[in-house]
Chains A and B, each alone.
Chain A
Amino acid sequence: MKFFTALLAGLIFGAGLLVSGMTNPANVLGFLDIFGEWRPQLAIVMGAAVLTAAPSFWAVRRSRRSLLGAPVDLPDRRHIDKLLLAGAATFGVGWGLSGICPGPGIVLLASGHGMAYLFMAAVIAGMWLVQLILNKRALR
């Protein structure tokens, strides 16, 4: 059951990325290019996504249980630390280079284009490398 509701959630999310134009890096780069020919449309997409999702966060904060009875796993770390900021900055540079973030990266695999596969392979390699290093530091 958990698999099917997650699949459904992914389907809706993936369809949203597709119809909103988030999966075309040209749109994303145009959105990020505020000093050039700025295309602000994706700000509306993000704003709408946040507003649509917000009531569900409010609901599960009160109930503490999902509709399938699972405990709700909300991140509750509040601390803004160096890792958070350094990671966000690193991600931002990578995102700005290609206009592809992880969600659209996965959707773009459906294009069958070699560059999309190379990009996602590099994403996974980058994640794996960081996990390796952070694990070693945690063990010390």
Chain B
Amino acid sequence: MLIGAGTATLLLFNGRIAGVSGILGNVIREAAGEQGWRLGFLLGLLVPALILGTGPALLPHHWAWATGSGLLVGAGTQIGSGCTSGHGVCGLANLSTRSLAATLVFMTAAVLTVLVVRHGGLQ
């Protein structure tokens, strides 16, 4: 519910979509105009964890695993114009069929990947 409330706050006050990959992608693209609010949002994401700590987190054990996963996540979200927050939360809340299609595809791909990794003998 807090995730939804954060999304609503950005939309109601700033008129912007709280899609993390979109915001991050536009920061590195140096999209025309306003970077201030984008950096504000990204900084806001980080602050609760800086204060409270991140708690237990199972991070990749091998550098190649972290790099490969990150590259696919970065490239995929740019090609597909969105991630879990942009398509999965904002898009669905906005009743977008495009985002529904994207969400179904990335969920399926992620489930199949976990299936192969965990039960296919890769791990």
Contacts and interface: CB of A to CB of B under 8 A. Distances in A.
A96 interface: yes
Contacts of A138: none
Contact of A100 (B37, B73, B82, B117): B73
Nearest to A121: B70
Given A14-B48, A102-B73, A118-B70, A23 B114 contact: no
Given A96-B111, A115-B66, A65 B71 contact: no
Nearest to B51: A110
Contacts of B85: 13, 101-103
B6 A108 contact: no
A130 B22 CA distance: 13
A101 B14 contact: no
Interface string A6-44: 111111111111111011111001001111100000000
Chain A interface size, under 10 / 10 to 19 / 20 to 34 / 35 or more: 35 or more
Given A46-B89, A78-B97, A97-B65, A88 B60 contact: no
Interface of B: 1-18, 20-21, 24-25, 28-29, 34, 36-50, 52-61, 63, 65-85, 87-98, 101-103, 105-115, 117-119
- CB-based closest 3 A-B pairs: A10-B44, A87-B80, A126-B74
Interface of A: 2-20, 22-26, 29, 32-36, 45-46, 48-57, 59-60, 65-68, 70-75, 77-80, 83-103, 105-111, 113, 115-116, 118-131, 134
